[in-house]
Amino acid sequence: MNSGLGDAADIFGILVSVIIVAAMLIWVERRLLAVWQDRLGPNRVGTFGLMQVVADMIKMFFKEDWIPPFSDKLVFVLAPTIVFITMLTGFAVIPFAPGVGIIDFNFGLLYFLALSSLSVYSVVLAGYASNNKYSLLGALRAAAQTVSYEVFMGISIMGVVMLSGTFNLREIVEAQRSGWFIIPQFFGFLIFLVAIVAESRRAPLDLPEAEQELVAGFHTEYSGMKFGMFFVGEYLGITLSSAVIVTLFFGGWLGPWLPPLIWFCLKTAIGILFFILLRGALPRPRYDQLMTFGWKVLLPAGLLNLLVTGAVLLSLHG
Amino acid sequence: MARIEIDGESYEVEDGDNLLSACLSLGLDLPYFCWHPAMGSAGACRQCAVIQYKDAEDSRGRLVMACMTPVTGSMRVSIAAEQAREFRSDNIELLMINHPHDCPVCEEGGECHLQDMTVMTGHTFRRYRGRKRTHNNQNLGPFINHEMNRCIACYRCVRFYGEYAGGHDLQVFGVHNNVYFGRFEDGALESEFSGNLVEVCPTGVFTDKTFSAHYSRKWDLQTAPSICVHCSLGCNIAPGERYGELRRVINRYNGDVNGYFLCDRGRFGYGFVNSPERIRKPLLKGHPEITAAMAEKHFHDVLKAAKATIGIGSPRASLEANFALRTLVGEENFFLGLDDTEHTLLETITGMMRNGGIHSPSLREVEQADAVLILGEDVTHSAPRLALSLRQAARNAAFALAGTMHIPLWQDASIRQIQSQARSPLFIASICATRLDDIATDTYQGGPEDIARLGFAIAHHLNHESPEPAGLGNAENSLAAAVAAGLKLAKRPLIVSGTSCSSLAVIQAAYNVAKALPGQNPQLTFTMPECNSLGLAIMGGKRLQQAFERMNENLADSVIILENDLYRRAPGPNVDLFLKTAAHAVVIDSLINATAEKAGLQLPAAAFAESEGTLVNNEGRAQRFFPVYPAPEPARGSWQWLTGALENFQWRHHDDLTAACAITFPALAAITGVSPGADYTIKGCKIPRQPHRYSGRTAMHSDINVREPGQPHDAETPFSFSMEGAMAQVPPGLLPVIWAPGWDSNQSINKFQEETGGHLRDGDAGVRLIEKSGSLEWFRDIPAAFKPQQEVWRIIRLPHIFGSEELSLHSPSIAERLSSSCLFMNPLDAGTLGVSAGEQVAIINLAGSPEDSARDEDELIDLEENSVLEIVAQIDKTLPRGLLVITAGLPEFQFINYWTQVTLKKIHQEGLS
Amino acid sequence: MLSQLRSLWEVLKHTFVKPDTVEYPEQRRELFPRYRGRIILTRDPDGEERCVACNLCAVACPVDCIALQKAEDENGRWYPGFFRINFSRCIMCGFCEEACPTNAIQLTPDFEMCEYDRQNMVYEKQHLLIDGTGKYHDYNFYRVAGMTIGGKTKGQAENELPPVDVKTLLP
């Protein structure tokens, strides 16, 4: 194990900064979308509207904490915490910089995959517990979407694992000193990108909440802070996803001149921006298109990528 | 039936009908103006042009006026043909050339037939740039506004006013395009049916002046089906409300009863509902302000504390309210609250109708009668709408003659022409001249006894088993023979009588005539004083006099008076004593009157437009009226006050009360079927009282509170106080508003009739309770002839359309037309007194009538003060000697008994020579 | 795929486009004269109320927020006895202005009418009626209509002949 990982300062610092980043993303996303739509976005509360987040939080905290009488109450309350917790624990394996992180697992990548698939329980349970047809439809979509894209996500990053020969995220970063994996694994990256957008249920693949069809999908019945958990959970998911993409394909903390942590944060920030740009630019596909694309395009492409990577590796090293 | 082809579609239509009527009966839209289902075709407006083709090959066809074209088998016509459409559009453009730019300030706007037709023909743009012809208007009295500029010269007004209703003072003047419809000079229209001009006129020349004073558009009025409460005929009306005020009354079509027309009392008498004399709050003597809850509690306390409570019913309250009172006080304490004579008359009439075996006709049947005898009634004043029907009945001979001459019955001008050659016999025997005398075959004036004797004589001529009056004069005898001969020839003879001359003998004579008629279908109809007189009589109960006695004997100590002014029913001193003796007197009424003023507790009752109930008209037809708007708090329906006081609250809803009433009185069993109950819905929706375009919903109450109140809930009727609900598929008899797409005016009724002018689809409203059965013996009590005595006169109270009815008296417009409070006398009598018209006389000894002479002296406390009445005398040539006529029901004559013997004295006015 | 990338690029380019947002209330836009804002009642060129209480605005109103009552002065001129607009319901659609046959009811470019108390959004006639003619300067309904009002009898309106003498038979 690397030294300096997992001490209290790391744990506390990462927890706080991740939550703050996630919260600030609420504001960042609204401002960025506004910029790309030739608007200004929230600019009234505090400097540049930065305190908008605080205002929103105050609003959410003071909203009636309503639990529908027709719901499955225990599950209804638990569901939003699951997404929050899984996303947060996901950050445990992220290699922010040498010596900065919480834990260094040899199976770090698998751990991330496991947690990201766990988060779908939150959605499914929320949809089920709401006892509302829109919520249930949203949950069903979420389940099917996550289960499908899980497969390609796993397959798409196997190329990275083959190149680096490890599941340890820090070692994967180190393995990119000679070159970012985006270059040899470009197709893998594309597949992973699509898959992780689908996994985090972000626009344009936000079919589980598709407000035009399903009101608000799985969180239709949620309000107040329980809705807030879903909301922040989603931004945590974006941050986590960007961090993982950076780690796997963009060389993690590696970079010249600047300290590693800054490099990591910069790259992650660009990733996040890209997520927001995706939401601002692309329309949502139909559900059948999403599934068709996954199974008929991404799966063969992923397998092909794996095959080619394997063949090339074998031919080079074999 | 004939099969005709219209625009390529084949239809089955009535043979002999005119093409326009046939098209409208089929539900097709064809513009028209001058044709009216009740008045036939005139061919004046040229609007209903269609193309008629010679045969199947003819492709050009020729333009014909549909209203003047009889339907023949296999005829081929086109409404939609370009040439016909263009003609109709051009015609409207010509009619509109002089039409003023008035629609925004016209009371007809929004329910204007001319607007409908203009839109229907597609004339949307005025091309005429010349100057418009104008006319000066006339002041036509308190009922009707005149705006001649709007006229399109369809002639409907004069055809209705003169030819249909028999008025003489509305005529057409001028020539070519200057024709003018009006009076010779300014002045109130004389006809009692002038109000119908508002509905007959297809545009805004004649509009409702009383409505204009608090005007709202048709689409803004909340309306519910209702029944006129101003006479016994039970005409169907549609009262409209806006901002909590009753705004107007219009005709509601009922094919069996009133058809298209109302009388002016029915149309303009609604003003009492908005009157400042309404009882708006409960009033407890000696307490400054009490709430409804306190009043209710006090009412219950009175009932609980009382030894026995007398209940006095009312002929102007619904069956249900009377029944609730009867249940509350118990059958032995329930009294009908009728004038003593009237009680006897109504009992007799009810007996004749139920067991006399003679058909009681609806107004539609009256119009089909081919010989009429009126005994002792001036129908125009006692039951005005009946007079209009009788006028049509007189035309039946002309119709029959037209049939032999192959003239179609809708050819109005031709029928009017041959009317001079043939007129159905109409005989009128009355106290003095009546408004129907102009179409009468023969008239007779005499005292009530003389009228009865003439009736008995006619009966005797018809059937010798009928008793013969002794000592009949030659003139009378030959008249009786002539009348009998006239009636004998008729297929559908009709006898009309009633309570106007307060004579039992007259009614019995009328029955004898009807019974003696050899024809298969003798019909007998009686007019009665009030809207539910017959219903109350069927229910039955004790006399008012008995209530007084009961109170005097100390068998009861409190009294509930339901919608009744006892001072109109019994001599004042008696009522005074009665109310004084009662420990508690509770009056439930809508208007302040003498009785209510004396009562310890006044409970505000909803007026007819604010409550629901069932009324039985003179024909024996039970009809339901519904609240147009919720009774303003704290007023509530009389039945609600009464059922609220019942100990076990068994009748929470009006429907329960109606059902209980039907069970208690087998004769009224059918009243549950009069209308659907409160649970009636169409596809789960109630029937909306407000049109779908009702405006201002979110602003009308916002001055009080910007938060809008919920719509009031109506738990008692199938209607809702809302614009939402079932619009289509409402049975036409229940339709609050008559409207069809493209037909905003009242002419849209065509869309709801089986055929134009026929019955409503799904049946006319109301249920007949009485069908002919049984037979009665001949009546044999023939009175002696009336002999005028020296220096002694007998006072006769005759009804007058404006003044005799209690409620309409409080309507401001009616008050303007009120019958003058004067005394009519024979010129010879006037001569002996030396009185000429317009001079004052004093009536002396008002209280002394023969029957009353035996009355206890103690009861007649204040008679001396009342016994002289100074009054203006007028001369009536047709009045028999020895009789003095006053208008019944006028407040100043209230205490004068019927048939009172009086003496007269001329008053010499000082200052005059 | 290419189109997706293109749209991503196109959207990204907007980073450098100036926002359209007008920062009300610091910045205010010039509103067009026909902007549909607060409703007023105007007067005719003679200074009389234009509204004749025909009720057409009320029936045209899709949210039923206009209520009025016709009254008549001693000269036969119709006017609204009361005229009430519940602006808390009004959607400024302008149908009332379109329906008005006398150009009485007009919408103005003023829209700043917020209130803390909703009751203050209820405007009565004295709040609505202005002293001018509004957008339409010359129209006077009663000069065109055929009704007699004070100062104008039959035949004195625009394009009218003097009243016919019905008792003459001359052509």
Q: Decide if B799 contacts B529 (C-beta within 8 A).
A: yes
Is the pLDDT reported for residue B843 higher than 90? no
- pLDDT 10s digits, A85-116: 888 888 888 888 887 778 888 888 888 888 88
Q: Provide the residue count of chain C.
A: 171
Widest pairwise Cα distance in chain C: 91
Average confidence (pLDDT) over B835-863: 59
pLDDT range class, residue B913, cuts 50, 70, 90 = very low
* Percent over 90 (pLDDT), chain B: 66
The residue that leads in pLDDT, A223 or B410, is B410
| Interatomic CA distance for residues B224 and B686, integer angstroms | 13
Tokens 């799985």 identify what position? A218
Highest mean pLDDT among A6-20, A298-312, C119-133: C119-133
Number of B to C CB contacts under 8 A, please give it: 139
pLDDT range class, residue A1, cuts 50, 70, 90 = very low
Is the pLDDT reported for residue B856 higher than 70? no
Is the pLDDT reported for residue B878 higher than 80? yes
* Percent over 70 (pLDDT), chain B: 97
| Contact yes or no for B216 and C69 at CB 8 A | yes
| Residues of chain B positioned with their CB less than 8 A from the CB of C157 | 100-101
Torsion of CA B169, B170, B175, B179, to 10 degrees: 150
| Interatomic CA distance for residues B383 and B377, integer angstroms | 9
| Residues of chain C positioned with their CB less than 8 A from the CB of A38 | 14, 17-21
A50 CB burial (10 A radius; 0-12, 13-18, 19+): middle
Dihedrals φ, ψ of B9, to 5°?
-100, 145
Say which of C11, C18, C20 has its CB closest to residue A280: C11
Q: How far is CA B497 from the centre of its chain?
A: 17
Question: Residues of C numbered 41-100 whose beta carbons fall under 8 angstroms of chain B's beta carbons: which are they?
Answer: 52-56, 58-59, 61, 63-70, 72, 78, 84-86, 88-89
| Contact yes or no for C58 and B109 at CB 8 A | no
Report all structural domains of chain B as residue ranges with CATH numbers, in order of start: 2-96 (3.10.20.740), 360-521 (3.40.228), 793-906 (2.40.40.20)
Average confidence (pLDDT) over B65-77: 91
ipTM given for this complex: 0.89
List the chains bordering chain A where 3 or more Cβ pairs fall under 8 Å: C
Q: How far is CA A162 from the centre of its chain?
A: 23
| Interatomic CA distance for residues A284 and B675, integer angstroms | 58
Specify the pLDDT at position A251.
82
Specify the pLDDT at position B852.
44
Average confidence (pLDDT) over B495-523: 90
Looking at chain B, which residue has its C-alpha nearest residue C149?
B105
pTM beyond cutoff 0.90 = no
Among the listed residues B872, B870, B874, B876, the one whose alpha carbon sits nearest the alpha carbon of residue B843: B870
Q: Decide if B838 contacts B786 (C-beta within 8 A).
A: no
- pLDDT 10s digits, C87-110: 999 999 999 999 999 999 999 999
Among the listed residues B556, B593, B602, the one whose alpha carbon sits nearest the alpha carbon of residue B578: B556
| Residues of chain C positioned with their CB less than 8 A from the CB of A40 | 19, 21, 23
Specify the pLDDT at position A318.
63
Q: How far is CA A298 from the centre of its chain?
A: 19
A110 CB burial (10 A radius; 0-12, 13-18, 19+): middle
Would an 8 Å CB–CB cutoff place C27 in contact with chain A?
no
Say which of B149, B700, B707 has its CB closest to residue C146: B149
| Residues of chain B positioned with their CB less than 8 A from the CB of C163 | 134-136
Residues 6 or more apart whose CB falls under 8 angstroms from that of B398 comprise B415, B416, B418, B419, B421, B422, B423, B424
Q: Decide if B71 contacts B14 (C-beta within 8 A).
A: yes
Per-domain residue ranges for chain A? Answer: 8-317
Among the listed residues B208, B254, B212, B249, the one whose alpha carbon sits nearest the alpha carbon of residue B235: B254
Q: Provide the residue count of chain A.
A: 318
- pLDDT 10s digits, B332-376: 999 998 988 899 999 999 999 999 989 999 999 999 999 999 999
Say which of B173, B214, B698 has its CB closest to residue C167: B173
Q: What is the mean pLDDT of chain B?
A: 90
| Residues of chain C positioned with their CB less than 8 A from the CB of B109 | 54
Q: Decide if B444 contacts B429 (C-beta within 8 A).
A: yes
Amino acid at B92: I
Q: What is the mean pLDDT of chain A?
A: 85
Strands B309-312 and B334-335, bridge-based pairing: parallel
DSSP letters along B811-831, please? SHHHHHTPPP-EEEE-HHHHH
Number of A to C CB contacts under 8 A, please give it: 35
DSSP letters along B297-319, please? HHHHHHHHH-S-EEEE--TTS-H
Looking at chain C, which residue has its C-alpha nearest residue A293?
C1
Average confidence (pLDDT) over B129-147: 93
- pLDDT 10s digits, B630-646: 999 899 999 999 998 88
Query: What six digits make up the tokens of A233?
Result: 């959970």
Say which of B175, B215, B696 has its CB closest to residue C67: B696
| Residues of chain B positioned with their CB less than 8 A from the CB of C65 | 696, 698-699
Specify the pLDDT at position A126.
87
Is the pLDDT reported for residue B312 higher than 90? yes
Query: What six digits make up the tokens of A118?
Result: 């766990």
| Cα distances (angstroms) measured from residue B444 to each of B450, B457, B504 | 9, 13, 19
Specify the pLDDT at position B451.
93
Tokens 């041959």 identify what position? B418
DSSP 8-state symbol, A286: P
| Contact yes or no for C11 and A36 at CB 8 A | yes
Is the pLDDT reported for residue A60 higher than 80? yes
Say which of C11, C15, C21 has its CB closest to residue A39: C21
| Residues of chain B positioned with their CB less than 8 A from the CB of C124 | 703
Is the pLDDT reported for residue A53 higher than 60? yes
Is the pLDDT reported for residue B861 higher than 70? no
Dihedrals φ, ψ of C40, to 5°?
-130, 165
Strands B442-445 and B426-430, bridge-based pairing: parallel
| Interatomic CA distance for residues B323 and C29, integer angstroms | 72
| Interatomic CA distance for residues A185 and B237, integer angstroms | 88
Specify the pLDDT at position B853.
41
- pLDDT 10s digits, A120-174: 888 888 888 888 888 888 888 888 888 888 888 888 888 888 888 888 888 888 8
Question: How close does chain A come to C140, measured CA to CA in Å?
Answer: 46
Would an 8 Å CB–CB cutoff place C20 in contact with chain A?
yes
Instruction: State the angle between helix axes of A224-249 and A8-36 in degrees (0 to 180), rounded to the nearest 10.
Output: 100
| Interatomic CA distance for residues B435 and B378, integer angstroms | 7
Average confidence (pLDDT) over B294-316: 91
Q: Decide if A108 contacts A17 (C-beta within 8 A).
A: no
- pLDDT 10s digits, A192-202: 988 888 888 88
Question: Residues of A numbered 267-286 whose beta carbons fall under 8 angstroms of chain C's beta carbons: which are they?
Answer: 277-278, 280-282
Torsion of CA C100, C101, C103, C105, to 10 degrees: -20
Is the pLDDT reported for residue B849 higher than 60? no
CB atoms inside a 10 Å sphere around CB C63:
15
| Residues of chain A positioned with their CB less than 8 A from the CB of C14 | 35-38
Average confidence (pLDDT) over B272-295: 90
| Residues of chain C positioned with their CB less than 8 A from the CB of A289 | none
Min mean pLDDT across A223-232, B207-216, B608-617, B655-664 is at A223-232
Is the pLDDT reported for residue C146 higher than 80? yes
Is the pLDDT reported for residue A203 higher than 80? no
Min mean pLDDT across A128-137, B35-44, B251-260, B399-408 is at A128-137
Vertex A190 angle, CA A188 and A195, to 5°: 95
